[in-house]
Copies of this chain bind each other. A is one copy, B any other.
Amino acid sequence: MKSTIRDVAKMAGVSISTVSRVMNSPNSVIESKRERVLEAVEQLKYQPNAFARGLIYKKSFTLGLLIPDIENLYYAGVIRGVQDACIKLGYSLMICNTDRDKDRLLSYIDTFHEKQVDGVVLASDILYPEYYDKLVGCRIPFVLVSSHSDEYDIPSVEIDDEAAAYDAVKFLIELGHKEIGMIGFNHDNSIAGPPRYEGFIRALTEFGLERNIEKIKYANHRYEHAYQATHELFTDFPDLTAVFCVADEFAMGTISYLKDRNILVPGQVSVVGFDNLRMASMFIPKLTTIAQPIYELGYRGAEKLHELITTGSVELRREKMEHKLIVRESSREK
């Protein structure tokens, strides 16, 4: 059996309240006893039982994190951010990978409810009414990372996707490209899809390149889909000299396709990605991309959640962080 407060009390020859006191406010116990207690704690490797504590405090000091796809490098960064913030704040973290499955996410919320997590951060996913209702029904505070909600008033941290996409496309235009395509996220199951699309359109429009507006194919988060979408894109529009990919993973798929077709990148076609994953600089060619402060997004999200939990509200409802264009090898002047 694991040792309990009673074991410690007995070994130190004091009452359990005294043991409790040295664990929580050591100064309220006279030194001689305190030392005996500490000694016993050490000997017995005593750790207060979190269940018993949770029952009293009605807090688990645990946060939940919901992510759509753990095999996507993007989330590795946010996880690290959230986890580091948790360490700083004295929380544990329960990370759950939903594989983009609604039911699975919903059932994780049940788990969170049962385990009494103090709050959850929902990363990069649309806040569907089912999610909202359930979370609110369970009275679990939550925040959105790399996402936001227009419908509900929920704290969120993300970048300005529209502006970032605009910057990427503008960069391509200023490089002299006139025939520009895009591999985007499906609008109906992604939160970043619409704003990045808008940014693409705005840049095109501002520079009088409206003819490109329809040169878009959509993919579904993974490399393979982007590969296929690129095939469709170039079948329909073989004269493209640049493509804006709304994710680095898409950019890799696009470049792979082009490579298989013996089309040089950046020689014949320039490609710009989005996210600046760790892979972006490992890929050949190294990806020109929009850098998101991924780690910071996660870190900030956890801080915001903590603020929400402890004060009941947050200062900045919808927070935006800075993005940055990183020019590497996959793009070139036309």
Contact = CB atoms under 8 A, between A and B. Distances in A.
Interface in A86-140: 92-97, 99, 110-111, 113-116, 137-139
| Copies of this chain in its oligomeric complex | 2
A83 B55 contact: no
A62 B115 contact: yes
A50 B115 contact: yes
A259 B284 CA distance: 8
A45 interface: yes
A263 interface: no
Contacts of A94: 92-95
B111 A92 contact: yes
A183 interface: no
A47 B2 contact: no
Contact of A138 (B45, B50, B52, B62): B45
A24 to B, nearest CB: 14
A51 B55 contact: yes
Contacts of A52: 51, 55
A139 B45 CA distance: 10
A237 interface: no
Contacts of A278: 71, 223
B71 A76 contact: yes
Contacts of A97: 79-80, 83
Contacts of A77: 71
A282 interface: yes
Interface string A57-75: 0001010000000110100
Contacts of A62: 115
B47 A138 contact: yes
Contacts of A255: 284
A139 B2 contact: yes
A47 B79 CA distance: 27
A279 B284 CA distance: 12
Contact of A51 (B54, B76, B253, B282): B54
A176 interface: no
A224 to B, nearest CB: 9
A283 interface: yes
Name the 9 nearest CB pairs between A and B, nearest first.
Answer: A51-B54, A71-B76, A51-B55, A51-B51, A95-B95, A47-B113, A47-B114, A50-B115, A50-B114
